[in-house]
Amino acid sequence: MARKSAKPLPIEDEEISQEIPEEQEEPEATEPVDDEDDELGTGGDAPNKSQAARAALDAGYEKPGEAVDYIKRSFGIDMNPQHFSAVKSQMKKKEGEGRAAKQAAPARRGRKPKIEPENGDPAPPPRNEATGEGDLLDTLEALKPLIAQYGADKLKRMVDLLG
């Protein structure tokens, strides 16, 4: 079922001008007055939430729950603990104490350098399996110490288990 359309209400005051008012000159900005008594630097106005959070941190309240209670008592501002944590992390980031400051250099792009094995054994030679031309002599030379250590029968059983 369709809704009935509402008719526009008639304008009662037809004396309202449709013309754009002339631009008025803006008064020149005055320099802010410094209040030395104001510790938050707000010019005598009530502090905003960020300034209240900074004051709580300066007072030694690091935990969000305690800091929110301090802000409520001192400034009468209701603040969420998550908001306090966000302001605190932004302050630390600006000061250089955050997680970003712990990372000395940004991550380098590209392939990571090869890590040499600690036990001194050289890395195995690269395989040529893509062409099917594996070096049979190198493989047999690698098997010779295994045959001497475990014997031919045990080595054959190991190969059968793997293959």
How far is Cα of residue 10 from the mean position of the Cα atoms in its chain?
55
Query: 88 pLDDT band (50/70/90 cuts)?
Result: very high
Say if CB 26 and CB 45 are below 8 A apart. no
> Which residue carries 């098997």 as its tokens?
143
Q: Which of 29-38, 45-54, 131-140 has the lowest mean pLDDT?
A: 29-38
pLDDT of the residue at 125 = 65
The overall pTM is greater than 0.95: no
Query: Does residue 148 have a pLDDT over 70?
Result: yes
Please state the φ and ψ torsions of residue 98, each to the nearest 5 degrees. Answer: -80, -175
Domain count, the chain: 1
Q: What is the DSSP letter of 66?
A: H
- Residue 7 forms part of a structural domain: no
pLDDT of the residue at 73 = 92
- Residue 11 forms part of a structural domain: no
pLDDT of the residue at 32 = 46
56-76 residue pLDDT tens: 999 999 999 999 999 999 999
The mean pLDDT of 122-145, rounded to a whole number, is: 71
Per the prediction, the chain carries an average pLDDT of 75
pLDDT of the residue at 64 = 92
Query: Does residue 18 have a pLDDT over 90?
Result: no
Please state the φ and ψ torsions of residue 77, each to the nearest 5 degrees. Answer: -105, 130
Which structural domain, as residue segments, surrounds residue 58? 49-100
For the record, the structure tokens of 40 come out as 């938050």
- Residue 123 forms part of a structural domain: no
- Residue 18 forms part of a structural domain: no
- Residue 76 forms part of a structural domain: yes
For the chain, percent of residues with pLDDT exceeding 70: 59
- Residue 135 forms part of a structural domain: no
Query: Does residue 33 have a pLDDT over 50?
Result: no
